[in-house]
Amino acid sequence: TGLRPVRSPREIPTLDHTPQIPDTNPVEYFAELSKQFPEGIFSMDIAGQENVFVYDPDLVTEVCDETRFGKPIFPPLSHVRDYAGAGLFTAHDDEEVWGMAHRILMPAFSQRAMKGYFGQMLEIAQNLVGKWERKQGQTVKVTDDYTRLTLDTIALSGFGYRFDSFGKEELHPFLQALLEALVESMRRSQELPMMTKLRTADDKKYRENIQLMRELVESVIKERRRGKSGGEDDLLGLMMEAVDPETGRRLDDDNVRDQVLTFLIAGHETTSGLLSFATYSLMRNPHVLAQAYAEVDRMLPGDTVPSYDTIMKLDVIPRVLEETLRLWAPIPQIMKAPLEDTVIGGRYHLEQGTKTNLLMFPTHTHPKAWERPLEFDIDRWLPDNRAQHHPHAYKPFGNGRRACIGRQFALTEARLALALVLQKFKFSDTTDYQMDVREALTRKPGDFELVVRTRQEHE
Ligand code: HEM
């Protein structure tokens, strides 16, 4: 037959590859390894399980065929279930509550719903601007402030809950707990369970962090029960009250708790990364930055307060975001698994259930699909050029029914935040920041700082 083995980075295929995977930034390491396998697929044994990595756009196309591949909940996602439970992100494909929650929450992510959140998105974006105006001429921690923005935005528009992160010097304790829990989930996915058991102090900390996050969620829900927050048709209102049209049932209390935590996590981590990487990319591409400023000055002259309609009419800023998601996808890999034994590319045999990881960066820069792949070129996203793209070489929001439910929310929020920031500020990169990616399930630039000045003052 024409079948070929999937190649591995080491010659002795029986030995586990775990020891060679670095503790930090494993996905960056996989992306680096991919260069050794131009066929667009390789395999490694990690913590006793075979992991296949795929990034040739035609192989990715097959892996994105939902009649053949599903989303499995293996490590690290099975560990994230320790706190996100059967929330949308970590539910199994065939878990009934996934379908129920998906049907109940879909209306909250329609385009019409975005218009409803706009007031809250604007309020929080103005808090960010206010903070940076007070920091005139000083260094700001860009990624931390975008994290304040995205966390406050999802909490306010989704749950009517105020973190008030911009009023505080320190990041909210929820964020520290989350970061530590995510790192621990990643770590557990790269070691045998026996090793995890030996790290008793880490396990204790992990439980404490989960407890802290759950307590916050309980207080969000309690406020609503007391009638002190938000409306009936925001996310929390739907989670607590709406009836699934198919089963006629509501989500139970445990699931509501898991969904709230899921949305607090999924709803902020990634968008904060996107905004940070977009700001970085603009700093490194002055000609694109100039186009973005020109757009903002045309559409939002002076101190014009952006309206929803203006934000939806932007052209340059959305293309900056799309190109940023190509080169700096905040979720650097997603996992799929064949529903039955199958063959991809006409030659690679995959057994049912094999962990099949789709690597974003190697796919998003694959020479088969992208010209000058490493160049930050927003013109790729002009309508005529977009029509020529390989259909499966760009997956920043995942694939199929398990793709991101919050895509429009993220893009609306990020467009607005970037537009306001560019309307008000000039940045200077006085420390010549060197990109230092930090992975914790999602990835963000570490210690990214810039000096901010208001534009009027500066010009
Ligand atoms: C799923 C990316 C923002 C909520 C996903 C997946 C990706 C992704 C790749 C699929 C994960 C997988 O296959 O395992 C992103 C990016 C974002 C973003 C790049 C920002 C730039 C958001 C926001 C929300 C959100 C703002 C909520 C308001 C979710 C949820 C899922 C999901 C609930 C699970 C969907 C399901 O399986 O039913 N996201 N996301 N995301 N995202 Fe996002």
Reading the chain (459 residues) residue by residue, the pLDDT tens digits are: 688 889 988 655 556 788 788 888 989 999 999 999 999 999 998 888 899 999 999 999 999 999 999 999 998 999 999 999 999 999 999 999 999 999 999 999 998 899 999 999 999 999 999 999 999 999 999 999 999 999 999 999 999 999 999 999 998 999 999 999 998 998 898 888 899 999 999 999 999 999 999 999 999 999 898 887 766 778 999 999 999 999 999 999 999 999 999 999 999 999 999 999 999 999 999 999 999 999 999 999 999 999 999 999 999 999 999 999 999 999 999 999 999 999 999 999 999 999 999 999 999 999 999 999 999 999 999 999 999 999 999 999 999 999 999 999 999 999 999 999 999 999 999 889 999 999 988 999 999 999 999 997 544
Helix, strand, coil content of the chain in percent (nearest 5): 55, 10, 35
Peptide bond into 391 cis (omega under 30): no
**What pLDDT is stored for residue 3 in this prediction?**
86
Q: Ligand 1 pocket test: pick from 397, 408, 409 the residue with the most ligand atoms within 8 Å of its Cβ.
A: 397
Residue 205 tokens read as 């900390």
The catalytic position among 153, 270, 279, 363 is 270
Structure tokens that stand for 24 in this block? 């930090």
Q: Which residue has the tokens 């963000």?
A: 444
How far is it, in rounded angstroms, from Cα 31 to Cα 377?
21
Closest CA to 145 of 420, 459, 431, 430: 420
Check: complex ipTM more than 0.85: yes
Please tell me whether residue 445 adopts helix, strand or coil conformation: strand
pLDDT on residue 18:
80
Backbone angle region of 160, left / alpha / beta, with phi > 0 → left and psi within -120 to 50 → alpha = left
Give the span between the Cα atoms of 283 and 109, in whole angstroms: 32
The verdict on whether 64 is a catalytic residue reads no
Cα of 404 from ligand 1 centre, angstroms: 4
pLDDT at 15: 67
Q: Choose the residue to mutate in 404, 408, 411, 412 for probing ligand 1, maximizing ligand atoms within 8 Å of C-beta.
A: 404
Choose, from 30, 37, 277, 397, the residue flagged as catalytic: 397
| pLDDT score of 116 | 92
What is the rounded distance in angstroms from the CA atom of residue 459 to the CA atom of residue 450? 18
Distance 405 CA to ligand 1 centre (A): 6
Q: How remote is the CA of residue 309 from the centroid of ligand 1, in Å?
A: 24
Helix axes 316-327, 269-284, angle to 10 degrees: 100
Using an 8 Å Cβ cutoff, are 454 and 129 in contact? no
Question: Which of 413, 453, 449 lies closest to 430, judged by CA?
Answer: 449
CA distance 283 to 280: 5
Residues in the chain: 459
Find out whether 350 and 356 touch, Cβ atoms under 8 Å: yes
CA angle 215, 220, 221 (to 5 degrees): 95
The continuous run of DSSP H or E covering 179 comes out as: helix 173-188
Tokens found for residue 132: 């940076």
pTM above 0.90, yes or no: yes
* Residue 357 β-bridge partners: 53, 335
pLDDT at 8: 86
